[in-house]
Amino acid sequence: MWRPAAGLQQQCTRALEIIDALAERLDYKLVVTLIGPCGSGKSTLLNALAGVDELSATGTERPTTRNLVVLSRDPDDAGQLRQRLGGQDIVLRASPAAAALEHVILIDTPDTDSTEQQRHLALLQQAIGLSDILICVFNAENPKTRDHADVLAPFVAMFDGQSLVAVLNRCDRLDETELREIIRPEFEQYLADAWPRTVERVLCLSARRHLQRPAWDPQAPPRHAFDQFEVLRDLVFGAFNRPGFAADRRVRNAEALRDYLWRQAREAVIAVGPQLEKARRDIQAVHRQAFSDALEVLASRQSGLPAGTSALLYQQLSQRWSGPVGWLVAAWSRLLTFGGGLGQMLRPAHIVGRMLRPSSPGEPALPETAGAEPAFERYRLTLLKRWPTVAEGLVAAGFDPTVRQTGTLVREGESVGRDLALTWNTALAAETERAARAMSGGPVQLLFNLPVLAVLAYTGWLTVSGFFDGHYLAPGFFLHAAVAAVVVLFLSFFLLQGALRRLARPERVLKKALETARLQLAGISPRAAAPLEEQVAVLLDQVLPLAGAVGRRTGRTGDGGNSPAPVGVFEKHQPNRDGI
């Protein structure tokens, strides 16, 4: 729902298409395409580059080139490219004499300003999409050269290769001084302003001069020798015309395109970084407050069922206590568990929630969580109350205004209920275990078991000593001794219950559990219930660091190559002259 993401996603989709196209032609030879208006001399220039006259047809008929003409040394190379271009309206021409085309394929395109321009448009798009070098050819004698540059601008925008070159052809027909000092500089400036990407070179040349048979008009020989054809030749066949270069270059093109998109994303995030950080803090705060309010509901609903908490406490004690009192604690624990379960079965509403924390063998199960539905309702009401302020912060951070709608708050109530129940029951289990551990120490067990053990020890001493002295005790003695032991046992157990009521009563355990649960909220991520917070986290925790790493590697980050702005300190990040 972050509005800048829509434009960035479109760029990524287009980039993926370009990268897929690069991958498909990874092992193809370098593709050089010439585009230009009628009469600019594209075909003548292609023949000069190939070193074979009439490899691409020239003439005065307009349009001179009506199809895509693919020039190569090996017919198989042109055939592979023809499959990529679709096979229609494509002319393949190969010549073993074109030694310069050992690692290069040249494409001559239909004229961009002819009467058949609409039919040629699809052909031009296909050829440009497969090109590594794009050469835009203009007739230096034509006063409408700038108009032709405007016509070519959309085609230049389609080009994703590594080298864009503009050529002023037929420069031998112009005055050399005027060409050097006025025509070329002004044309360079015009292209810089009018075209969507930077032109690598603007070259002045005379293609006809480099044909095997230039066939000059005797009445119009060249006016000067200023010609940059060799610069163009070196650009096409010098560094590029070697095995493996095209594949390496295409891989670097793909990497550069990927890095550019990361930088674009990073700049978009940094532009609203402080607002995004504030929005994330606000979302987390409102969700934690909502969790806290819901936990209070859980605690209040649970406080009406002290038997469940008491059963849990006695289960914990029964595992720790030994001796006669420990036996009675275990029996009482079973009785409370059975009574609580029977009471739940007889309740009309039966079970509202179940404990999510699974019980391990030998570990007591927590009581069922009461009040899960009212707790979630309190959670939702708290969000509704505090959401307008959070929503305005999200809108300021670039999110769609529809975030003001409450439907974006909670994904599913069930997931929130699980988080609430898990947090509460975990805290309740921890506090119950702590209370049970405090009441199960060795001295405490000895204190409450000692009276019963004393009666049993005294009875045993009298019985054994009388046996050895020959004074046998009457049966009534043993009956009275057993009654005394039971009475003392129950008195000790009642005293233990009194101590538990005083030191570990259910209300106290519930209160402590609520405090513990609130502390645990700091570790709860609201993302399961807050999709907007997850989107903000993606921008700040994934896009920004990864894009910053790309910027450090390429040295072309949006803020001059510095490391990414640390999350949470956007307030200290001063915008540069580009506003980033």
| pLDDT score of 520 | 67
Q: Is 368 helix (H, G, I), strand (E, B) or coil?
A: coil
| pLDDT score of 117 | 64
Confidence category of residue 557, pLDDT binned at 50, 70, 90: very low
| pLDDT score of 206 | 93
pLDDT at 453 over 50: yes
| pLDDT score of 166 | 95
| pLDDT score of 38 | 85
Confidence category of residue 143, pLDDT binned at 50, 70, 90: confident
By mean pLDDT, which of 261-275, 386-400, 459-473, 511-525 is the weakest?
511-525
pLDDT at 359 over 50: no
Give percent above pLDDT 90 in the chain: 12
In 246-267, which positions are buried (b, 16+ CB within 10 angstroms) versus exposed (e)? bbebbeebbeebebebbbbbbb
Cα gap 556→214, rounded to integer Å: 47
Give the pLDDT confidence of 31-52 residue by residue, as tens digits.
899 999 888 888 899 889 888 8
Considering only residues 323 and 346, tell me which one the structure prediction assigns the higher pLDDT: 323
Considering only residues 528 and 138, tell me which one the structure prediction assigns the higher pLDDT: 138
Total length of the chain: 580
Q: Can you tell me the mean pLDDT for 331-339?
A: 80
pLDDT at 259 over 70: yes
| pLDDT score of 560 | 43
Helical ranges in 397-441 per DSSP H? 413-438
Chain centroid to CA 28: how far? 34
By mean pLDDT, which of 31-40, 61-70, 81-90, 211-220 is the weakest?
61-70
pLDDT at 513 over 60: yes
406 secondary structure, DSSP code: G
Cα gap 33→81, rounded to integer Å: 12
Which residues neighbour 86 within 8 Å (Cβ) at sequence distance 6 or greater?
Answer: 126
| pLDDT score of 514 | 72
| pLDDT score of 226 | 93
| One-letter amino acid for residue 127 of the chain | A
pLDDT at 65 over 60: no
From the CB of residue 104, how many other CB atoms can be counted at a distance below 10 Å? 24
- Please name which of 426, 418, 422, 419 lies closest in space to residue 513, comparing C-alpha atoms: 426
Q: What is the pTM of this model?
A: 0.46
Confidence category of residue 540, pLDDT binned at 50, 70, 90: confident
Give the pLDDT confidence of 155-168 residue by residue, as tens digits.
888 887 778 999 99
Q: Can you tell me the mean pLDDT for 464-490?
A: 86
Cα gap 106→541, rounded to integer Å: 46
| pLDDT score of 237 | 82
Instruction: Give the start-to-end residue ranges of the domains of the chain.
Output: 27-243, 277-439+504-531, 442-497
Cα gap 533→433, rounded to integer Å: 35
CA distance readout (Å), 458 to 215, 446, 455, 461, 484: 136, 17, 5, 5, 11
| pLDDT score of 573 | 41
Give the pLDDT confidence of 182-226 residue by residue, as tens digits.
999 999 999 999 998 889 899 999 999 999 888 888 888 888 999
Give percent above pLDDT 70 in the chain: 73
Tokens describing residue 214: 């230039």
Place of tokens 């058949």: 116
Place of tokens 């270069």: 245
- Please name which of 260, 320, 278, 577 lies closest in space to residue 445, comparing C-alpha atoms: 320
pLDDT at 576 over 60: no
Q: Is 400 helix (H, G, I), strand (E, B) or coil?
A: coil
| pLDDT score of 239 | 57
Considering only residues 365 and 276, tell me which one the structure prediction assigns the higher pLDDT: 276
Q: Of the spans 135-149, 232-246, 406-420, which averages the highest pLDDT?
A: 135-149
| pLDDT score of 187 | 93
- Please name which of 551, 268, 6, 287 lies closest in space to residue 276, comparing C-alpha atoms: 268
In 288-308, which positions are buried (b, 16+ CB within 10 angstroms) versus exposed (e)? ebbbbbbbebbbebbbebebb
Q: Can you tell me the mean pLDDT for 386-403?
A: 89
| pLDDT score of 512 | 78
Cis (ω within 30 of 0) for the bond into 63?
yes
Cα gap 101→56, rounded to integer Å: 14
Place of tokens 């163009």: 232
Q: What's the whole-number average pLDDT of the chain? A: 76
**Top-level CATH class of 27-243?**
alpha beta
State the helix-helix crossing angle for 306-320 and 323-346, rounded to 10 degrees.
150
